[in-house]
């Protein structure tokens, strides 16, 4: 058996990049009253959309209990509001508050800061290729998880 070098395989490198992006992103959005884990919810509701907690969890790929905790904190911090779901009296619809929506452009700008530095040495084609490969990787991972969940 040959030597095993973790850094010759994609997963550890992707994990390291993800953690670094999260640390940098957290630093940038914290001053705006957000945290990096809230980005999927902020993104999904950015245009005035309303979604159930169940749908938010599904699209954000977060377990229901974790989503419930996140939404409770976001509600406490004045970022979301819940209204009764007219189609399901037991459920509520989640939407962003006006205060959260007003801060979204600054959050996006903060996250874009440093993009040039992070992608230094990458051509536009390199970036497009990276995005395409990451999308395909995530589709494969989603399919694998779904297959395992079905088993």
Tell me the pLDDT band of 8, cut-offs 50, 70 and 90.
confident
Two tokens, residue 5: 């070098």
Q: Please report whether residue 108 resides in a domain.
A: yes
Q: Please report whether residue 1 resides in a domain.
A: no
**pLDDT > 90? residue 1:** no
Let me know the angle formed at the C-alpha of 47 by 44 and 51, rounded to the nearest 5 degrees. Answer: 45
**pLDDT > 60? residue 103:** yes
Instruction: Please check whether residues 96 and 146 belong to one and the same domain.
Output: no
Instruction: Please check whether residues 58 and 110 belong to one and the same domain.
Output: yes
Question: In which domain, by residue range, is 134 found?
Answer: 121-151
Let me know the angle formed at the C-alpha of 108 by 125 and 41, rounded to the nearest 5 degrees. Answer: 105
Q: Please report whether residue 32 resides in a domain.
A: yes
Q: Which residues, 6 or more positions from 101, have their beta carbon under 8 angstroms from its beta carbon?
A: 46, 48
Spatial distance between the Cα atoms of 98 and 101, rounded to a whole number of angstroms: 5
What's the CATH code of the domain at 49?
1.10.10.10
Instruction: Please check whether residues 62 and 39 belong to one and the same domain.
Output: yes
Instruction: Please check whether residues 127 and 110 belong to one and the same domain.
Output: no
Looking at the DSSP bridge assignments, the partners of residue 88 are 85
State the total domains in the chain.
2
Question: pLDDT, tens digit, for every residue of 50-70?
Answer: 999 999 999 998 999 999 999
Instruction: Please check whether residues 11 and 62 belong to one and the same domain.
Output: yes
Instruction: Please check whether residues 21 and 54 belong to one and the same domain.
Output: yes
* Residue 88 phi, psi dihedral angles, 5° rounding: -150, 100
């Amino acid at each position: 058996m040959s030597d095993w070098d973790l850094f010759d395989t994609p997963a550890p490198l992707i994990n390291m990049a993800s953690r670094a992006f999260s640390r940098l992103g957290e630093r940038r959005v914290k001053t705006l009253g957000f945290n990096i884990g809230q980005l999927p919810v902020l993104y999904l509701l950015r245009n005035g959309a309303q979604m159930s907690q169940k749908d938010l969890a599904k699209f954000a790929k977060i377990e229901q209990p974790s989503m419930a905790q996140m939404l409770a904190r976001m509600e406490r911090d004045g970022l979301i509001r819940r209204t009764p779901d007219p189609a399901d009296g037991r459920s509520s619809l989640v939407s962003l508050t006006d205060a959260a929506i007003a801060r979204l452009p600054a959050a996006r700008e903060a996250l874009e800061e440093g993009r040039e530095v992070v992608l230094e040495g990458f051509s536009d084609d390199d970036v497009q290729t990276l995005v395409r490969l990451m999308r395909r990787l995530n589709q494969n991972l989603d399919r694998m998880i779904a297959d395992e969940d079905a088993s």
